[in-house]
Amino acid sequence: MKKVGWSSLLVATLVLVFGIAAEAQQPAKVPRVGLLRGRASASGTSLDGVVGELRALGYVDGKNITFESRSAENKLDRLPALAEELVGLKVDLLLVPATVEALVAKNATRTIPIVCLNIGDPVALGLVNSFARPGGNITGVRTGSELASGKRVERLKQAVPSLSSVAVVWNAKQPAMSRTLVQPTVNAARTLRMQPRVLGVENEAQLNAALDVIAREGLESLVLGPALSVAPGKFNLVPDFAAQLKIPQIYADEDMVRKGGGLMCFNSNRAAQYQRAAEFVDKIWRGTRPADIPVEEPIEIDFIVNLPFVCAVPCLAVYRGTRL
């Protein structure tokens, strides 16, 4: 048997030791997250909220995570090209703020993990196989709008028991809303002996036309579903109209109250959604497959009321923790 000299053994040992040390010193891979937005980028948007929660988990942009942000700037027909661009950049994960972006992201990739916020019924939309076992590359947090739809009419009736009619204005650019959001609202109105008037709108001109119908027909109250993309940035358009007619109104989008001065909002707690989405991103980066992360239903609902003081300065009161 051939003898191995001490010098050869020493060299082999040093090579092994330094090889392991060099491997240990290799920098850890930094996750690259693609942010796909339909609406114009601005501070306070849902994806910014998730980024803030990731920061709380220890992820620092430019240090141990990087973000590639793309916005359609309210031109939703640009979303497919932007999604393809992010996929081409080989991002490790896509983060999307709503159903429209989720559907576009799904068409762009079946392999890159996708975490969604504010999605409608993901099974009915074909995004996942089931809530408990999504089964593909998509998971996320479901919107509270569907679950809260009927409750909004109840809140209006509680505020003004004499109401006998309600305008139900919805975003007709998202047909799935007809079944999941509009119908529960209509059913609740009829149960409360209120006559519903359903008005679908796809753009600002149609929204203004719907408001004209409300005024002309003398409808006594107003429910507005998720419709920020119909008249981007014009948070006060509907609240100002309702104030002029002095009719109570309630919204799915809290910006209609916080920024537009509307009367009431009833929907899932934003901060809780941001936190859960950030935790999903963290889980995926640590090795959990999206297919094994159940899509979550919102539990905590915010009831936000714009209370006028004698001095007419609006004060926001938020009643948290409402259980559906």
Q: Locate 162 and state its tokens.
A: 């004499």
How much is the pLDDT for 276? 93
* Residue 10: pLDDT over 90: no
How much is the pLDDT for 313? 39
* Residue 42: pLDDT over 80: no
User: Are the C-beta atoms of 31 and 92 separated by less than 8 Å?
Assistant: yes
How much is the pLDDT for 245? 93
Which residue has better confidence, 228 or 128? 128
3 state DSSP class of 154: helix
How much is the pLDDT for 40? 65
What values do phi and psi take at 169, rounded to 5?
-100, 130
Sorted by sequence, the CB contacts under 8 Å of residue 19 that are 6+ apart come out as: none
How much is the pLDDT for 204? 93
How much is the pLDDT for 318? 57
Segment 72-86 mean pLDDT: 92
**Rounded to the nearest 10 degrees, what angle do helices 99-108 and 79-88 cross at?**
50
Q: Locate 90 and state its tokens.
A: 């080989």
Q: Which of 94-108, 128-142, 164-178, 196-210 has the lowest mean pLDDT?
A: 164-178
* Residue 147: pLDDT over 50: yes
Reported CATH class of domain 32-142+269-298: alpha beta
Domain boundaries, the chain: 32-142+269-298, 145-262
Model confidence band, residue 319 (pLDDT cutoffs 50, 70, 90): low
Segment 169-174 mean pLDDT: 86
Segment 176-205 mean pLDDT: 90
How much is the pLDDT for 13? 55
CATH no. of 145-262: 3.40.50.2300
Rounded Cα distance between 300 and 303, Å, is 10
Short-list 220, 257, 253, 223, CA closest to 240: 257
How much is the pLDDT for 317? 59
How much is the pLDDT for 24? 47
User: Are the C-beta atoms of 277 and 269 separated by less than 8 Å?
Assistant: no
User: If you average pLDDT over every residue of the chain, what do you get?
Assistant: 85
Q: Which of 21-30, 56-65, 87-96, 315-324 has the lowest mean pLDDT?
A: 315-324
Burial of 95 (0-12, 13-18, 19+ CB in 10 A): buried
* Residue 145: pLDDT over 80: no
How much is the pLDDT for 196? 97
Segment 240-253 mean pLDDT: 93
Residues of the chain with pLDDT > 70, as a percent, come to 83
What values do phi and psi take at 180, rounded to 5?
-85, -25
How much is the pLDDT for 38? 86
Its sign, for the CA torsion 127, 39, 32, 144, is: negative
Q: Could you tell me how far CA 93 lies from the centroid of its own chain?
A: 16
